[in-house]
Amino acid sequence: MSESAKKEFTLQVRVYYEDTDAGGVVYHSNYLNFMERARTEWLRHIGFEQHTLIEQDGILFAVRKVSIDYHKPALFNELLDVKTHIADQHKASLIFAQIISNQSEEIICKAEIKIACLNCKTMKPEPIPETIISELK
């Protein structure tokens, strides 16, 4: 797998009725759900399952900080691209840049999301396992 394939990932998401408000517009917090799915699928794409990291490595990833800008509403039944890439990497955290766009390539929203690696028992920061770091190099 190439370096860019490991650090960049796109997930397509269909907007369902349950994702929208009464006007058929995606409810603002659902964009974060779409981004969460994309980060989970990115992790799976590079060879890691979250439940395995919890059970075998004793770690989990948790959102530490979110900054999001909304540009245009997404609507019921639209197909969206959730683009995810690592913007920065630290000892115990990753910063993801995520962009959601529609099929016309119009930007719906952009976010920067800091994810912390935590020890499952103590819930304190812990270095990202070397197995994951090596996949990112």
Q: What are phi and psi of 39, to 5 degrees?
A: -65, -40
H helices present in 1-137, as ranges: 3-7, 30-45, 50-52, 130-136
Query: Which listed residue (19, 21, 57, 88) is catalytic?
Result: 21
Q: Quick check: is 21 catalytic?
A: yes
Residue written as tokens 């690696």? 117
User: How far apart are alpha carbons 36 and 98 in whole angstroms?
Assistant: 10
Catalytic residue ranges? 21
